[in-house]
Amino acid sequence: MKSTPQAPIEVLLFGKTFRVRIQLHQYEHRGLAVQLVIDGNDDPDCVDGEAFSTISIWLPETLTLPPHQFYVKHWDENSGVIGQLLAQGVIEPVPNAPICQAGYIPNIKAYQLRTDNVPVGWSQIEGGTEQ
């Protein structure tokens, strides 16, 4: 079952506003994978349900996080998106989680979805499995 949030999120990228929703998955080696997908945009170039951005990244340190927390990929195509998700209260930082590095990318921090943004059908607290 694919998860859908209770309300779409608007993200401005390249001067264009996109409506997206959150889909949650598990990485193969455990850990929460967080993806934004298109949510019914009127733009003919956008297809409903099409992947927009994966905002999480799997790192070895992911295994030390509780199931409802994840490391955020804050560079490249996500550089403008993460700040908007923070400003809109979609995600929030996890205090005291280890700050990581991936190759030459420093300062990778852990976040979690705010409770009101957890997709319907997703048990965030009970081990992070779709129901």
pLDDT score, position 79: 84
d(CA 91, CA 70): 10
What's the chain's average pLDDT? 83
Torsion angles phi and psi, residue 52, rounded to 5: -105, -45
| Prediction pTM value | 0.82
Greater confidence, 46 or 72?
72
Strands (E), the chain: 9-13, 16-26, 32-38, 51-54, 56-57, 69-72, 91-93, 100-102, 105-108, 110-113, 122-123, 129-130
pLDDT score, position 120: 60
pLDDT band, residue 5 (cuts 50/70/90): very low
Cβ atoms within 10 Å, residue 105 = 13
d(CA 109, CA 94): 8
Greater confidence, 71 or 43?
71
d(CA 65, CA 67): 6
Asked if 41 and 16 touch (Cβ cutoff 8 Å), the reply is no
pLDDT tens per residue across span 49-95: 888 999 999 999 999 999 889 999 998 888 889 999 999 999 999 99
Asked if 124 and 111 touch (Cβ cutoff 8 Å), the reply is no
